Each structure stands twice: as C-alpha cells, then as structure tokens.
Amino acid sequence: MVTDPKDFFVFYASPERDADLLYWSGFRAPDSFLAFESEGKRHAVLSSLEFDRGQREGRFDEVLSLEQVIVDSGTENDIAGRILWLAEKYKASRLALPDDFPARIAFDLEKRSDLPLHLVERPICVERVRKTAEELESIRRANAVIGEAYSAVEEVLGAATIQGDLIYSEGEPLTSEKLRALIGTTCLQKGCLAEGTIVAGGDQACDPHERGRGPLPANSMIIVDIFPREETSGYYGDMTRTYLKGRANDEQRTLYNTVREAQAKALDGIRGGVDGMEIHSMVVDYFEGKGFQTSRDERGYFGFFHGTGHGLGLEIHEEPRVSRQSSVLEEGMVITVEPGLYYRGLGGCRIEDVVCVRQEGVSMLSNHPQNWEIE
C-alpha cells in the first residue's frame, strides 16, 4: 500500500465496487463493510452473515464481529463513531482514507476527531498495477472467453442474409440487442459476466461508448466491444473487433486497414520504460499522415478522439494510461491497445487487444482472428 505503516488506514466499501479493497483483502462481498490496516495488520469488521466466510476466505489477520463491536462501542448507526472507537482501541496517531471515501463519514470524522486526517490517492495498492503470473492467467482466461463469444457472433453473421439495407437472421432483422444477448449468454456459460457490451453499427459506432440499439445495417461497419469480468477471480478481459456483413467498399477497407496498421505499430513500440504518451502520439501522427484528421463539427467529434489504451485488471479502466497523459509503462503492467477511427457516413472502426508489457516488447493476453468482412 502507498500509506505510511503508522497510519490507521480505513476502507468502508464493497469489494465488488472497490478494486483496492478486493486486492487488499482477497474477499468478495456485495455489501459495504469496515476494514482497516494498523501497524501492518489487516482487520475486517463483518456481520454474522459474512463473519465465517471472511475468516475462511479473506486475507485478514483479524476478523471482528460487527454485532459485538456495535455493543462494545455503542455505535448502532454511527459509522464515524465506530471508526473513532476502533482508532482509539488500536492506538492510531493518524487516520488515512481513500480520496473517494464516503464524504458524509469523512466530514464527520474530521469534525469529531483530533486525529490528523490524510487522504490517499488511488490506487491504494500500487503493487496491483504490475500483475503476477496468476493475475495474468486470469486476464488471459477472460479474453479466451471473449474469443468464444466472437466466434458465436461470426457464426451468426455468416449464416445471416441481407435484405435491403438490413441483416436478417432466422427470418428476422438482426439487432444489436440480439447479438448482445448471445454474447452475454456465451460469456455466462463460460464463467464470465459481460455487462455494457457494445454492438453498434453504422453511425451509432461513431460514438465509442454507444452500446448500440435496433436493427444492424448491412454493408456497414459494426463495432463489437466485449469486456466481461471473470466471476471467480474478479479480473476483466477486454477485446474489440469490427465486422461488416456484406461487401466493404474501398473507403471502408482503407479505414479498417489503417486502424489495423496503427494497432500493429503501437504493439511494436510498447516496451518497459516507454511513456504511453509516446505510443499514443505515434498513433495520432500515423492517422494524420494517412489523411485521417481529427476534429469536431456540428454533429460531434470525428477521427481519433480517445486514448490508445488503458490498464486492465480488477477494474476495466485502471492505471496506466496510453493517451495524452504521461504514464511510463513498466514490466508486468497490463494494457489494452485500441486505436479507432470514426466518421459519420463512413463508419466507425476499433480494434482492441490486451498485452502484458515486457522489457523488450509485449506478450499477448488476447488472441482472436480479425475476420472482419463476412459475406
């Protein structure tokens, strides 16, 4: 952790929503609970619902009974009072909290305590930025599941027909919602939960976080971005492929090939010690050199207007960044590499893979073919 060993460091969150708490505790629970580190020891205050499982599964040095702590401290509905009681019990000299700690409790602590209050920037557990072999395997497994989902998508697109401007499957228009359901089911059957999956075609694909809705257009680019979380480990996978059902025109092929070449150049440039900002600038320069400009008009932004990549692990977006922001890449970091181009009327294209940074290059953590044009 990034805190001073003398600090009384406090979490109050659910590990399902707080990646640092999950990493620190090794314990998964749906509801928020109080946990703290004091003199290098890890403690949790758990209700009877979670107490036994916390002792069995968590990496805690001590698990305290919430019911007993409430009785002893007299803090039935007073979380700040409970923290101060524990701080006194464990002889704290300074309170440390994540910088996004629940504000009402933090204000209460500051008002009611003479202890100095220190806010700590995320990530709290800085060591989780560089992945272990076990973590890498979890991410690789999640990406393998994504590959199976893409195979299912390709099978549906391959069997589909074109009627007018739309794609038809089993006699009905194929929609973003139907493909998203197929992806979700495939991932769930393989032990991953896929939420927020993007299946966006035509001009919808020109908004990178548009999930997609309605019938999918034929002869147009369709961005499919899948980022499920492995249920057993909590680690994410993240891959994007762009498809076109029908026959691409020359402009579409040029757009796709330019994005693919940009990704290849970025992958070739990544290694330990390189600043992610340099990789991003290289991609920007490559696109501009190929005549693909980035700007904004009355319809919105067009071109390449997002980062080239981001860290991946217990969070779908975590440190480091491969963007306009300086961020030196180190051995063992896991990042996505996902350049894209977006032009309304022509279409959107993004290709994304996941790599582990090595001193002399990268090792791939995702592996699925780029069979994008499906007749």
pLDDT in tens, 91-125: 999 999 999 999 999 999 999 999 999 999 999 99
Tell me the per-residue pLDDT of 296-333, one tens digit each, with 9 for 90 and over. 999 999 999 999 999 999 999 999 999 999 999 999 99
What pLDDT does residue 48 have?
Answer: 98
Q: Which residue ranges make up each domain of the chain? A: 8-128, 130-374
Q: How far apart are CA 67 and CA 82, in angstroms?
A: 12
Task: Determine the Cα–Cα distance for residues 229 and 159; give it in Å rounded to an integer.
Answer: 29
Bridge-based pairing of strands 33-38 and 8-13 is antiparallel
Q: Among all chains, which residue has been given the structure tokens 């980035």?
A: 294
pLDDT digits (tens, 9 = 90+) for 26-54: 999 999 999 999 999 999 999 999 999 99
Residue 2 has pLDDT above 60, yes or no: no
pLDDT at 3: 63
Q: Where are the alpha helices (DSSP H) in the chain?
A: 19-25, 51-57, 66-73, 79-89, 103-112, 133-159, 176-189, 250-269, 276-289
Contact criterion met (CB below 8 Å) for 222 and 200 = yes
Superfamily of domain 8-128: Creatinase/prolidase N-terminal domain (3.40.350.10)
The whole-angstrom separation of Cα 208 and Cα 238 is: 14
The count of residues in the chain is 375
- Select the CATH number that applies to the domain covering 130-374 from these four: 3.30.420.40, 3.90.230.10, 3.30.930.20, 3.40.640.10: 3.90.230.10
Q: For residue 65, what are the β-bridge partners?
A: 46
CB contact at 8 A, 109 and 95: yes
Provide the CB-side half-sphere exposure for 227 (13 A, CA): 21
What integer best gives the mean pLDDT of the chain? 97
Q: Which helix (H) or strand (E) holds 374?
A: strand 373-374
